[in-house]
Amino acid sequence: MPPPGNRRTGRPTLDEVAARAGVARMTVSRVINAAASVSPRTRALVERAIAETGYVPNRAAQTLAGKRNDIVALVLSEPGISIYGEHYLTEITRGIETVIAPLDTHLMLALNRPGTEQESLTGRLTQMLRGHRVDGVLLVSVLADDPLPAMVERLRMPALLSGHGPAWDSAGRVDVDEVDAACNATTYLLRQGRSVVATITGPLDTHPARRRLEGYRQGVELAGGTRGTGRLIACGDMTEEGGARAMREILAMSPDVDGILAASDAMAAGALRALREAGRRVPEDAAVIGFDDSVIARHTDPPLTSVRLPLSEMGRTMARILLQQIGAPSSAQPPHSLLCAELVLRDSA
């Protein structure tokens, strides 16, 4: 009978992960410890092998050696979620989980509400930050006057920002180029022969809405937009009804409008309804493009052309950069990553 120390437990080993991924044992170790020296392709192979084998790193020893808690906090502002929608939260969280779950790191989600520090942060999160009981923080669309970023910086905690929010030297940033995305969508409409292109914005006191409006204006300028285009702007509230109201406002300003970029799929669905009520056919008389490529886009009549944000990729990138900062703190300038969106073509444009 083999000695107890040599018995096989049945749990996958580091060597088995390396063999499945076709890499060296040390490469697997570097991926587990979020080292920056691994190529994206190799990292993806190792992460897939970890998931397929069910390998669980021995974090107990690593936690004792490095004082790790294996907890990452994801903090989202309530106004940001109300603008971006649940689809945004779901996809980003899924992307984060694909990176941290194989490493036996847990994600703690906190909703950040405006107000004083006591009101804007859950007591549990505040205590965990001050007690250094989380390893790092992912901040999504935090408000400019929120006390959380200052607290995180004061505690010298690894942190990463996404979306609108204050910047500081010790935090990296991952974002999607929404200006470029809206610009490309507007340019597409104009190059398809649409001559009077309007936009339905979100509330202009929010950063996402302002970025998408800026992209619309840039697209008009780049494509040499014609009569009326560039000034046909109506403000919506990110809902279907708000989109319908804004579309009626645009039709009153310019009955011959033949292209519409809406800052959300819900508002684009409302625009489709208002156009139908006005006897305008889509896409024959007017083309419509939405934003976010949410489930709504696939169930409108006609199906909606929409800007797809790489939300899962953003979540994965955020998690990888934060884990690198946690595993190997550096005085170097933290990375800033700007991801590109994709225009998904369907029947509405």
Cα–Cα dist 166/149, whole Å:
7
Amino acid at 16: E
Residue-level pLDDT at 305: 98
Domains and CATH numbers, the chain: 4-57 (1.10.260.40), 65-175+311-339 (3.40.50.2300), 178-308 (3.40.50.2300)
pLDDT tens per residue across all 349 residues of the chain:
344 444 444 667 888 889 999 998 888 877 776 665 678 888 889 888 888 887 766 554 444 445 567 889 898 876 555 556 677 888 899 999 999 988 888 898 877 665 545 454 556 667 777 777 788 899 887 766 667 777 888 878 888 888 766 666 667 889 899 999 999 999 999 999 999 999 999 988 777 888 999 999 999 988 775 555 667 999 999 899 999 999 999 999 999 999 999 999 999 999 999 999 999 999 999 999 999 999 999 999 999 999 999 999 999 999 999 988 887 766 567 788 899 999 999 999 9
Check residue 7 and report its DSSP letter: -
Cα–Cα dist 226/224, whole Å:
6
Residue-level pLDDT at 118: 46
Q: Which residues of 126-163 are buried (b: 16+ CB within 10 A; e: fewer)?
A: bebbeeeebbbbbbbbbbeebbbbebbeeeebbbbbbb
Burial of 102 (0-12, 13-18, 19+ CB in 10 A): buried
Token digits of residue 188:
């597409």
Beta bridge partners of 235: 201
Q: Which residues of 278-296 are buried (b: 16+ CB within 10 A; e: fewer)?
A: eebebbeebbbbbbbbbeb
Residue-level pLDDT at 336: 84
Q: How many CB atoms lie within 10 A of CB 111?
A: 16
Burial of 264 (0-12, 13-18, 19+ CB in 10 A): buried
C-alpha closest to that of 192 among 98, 286, 273, 325: 286
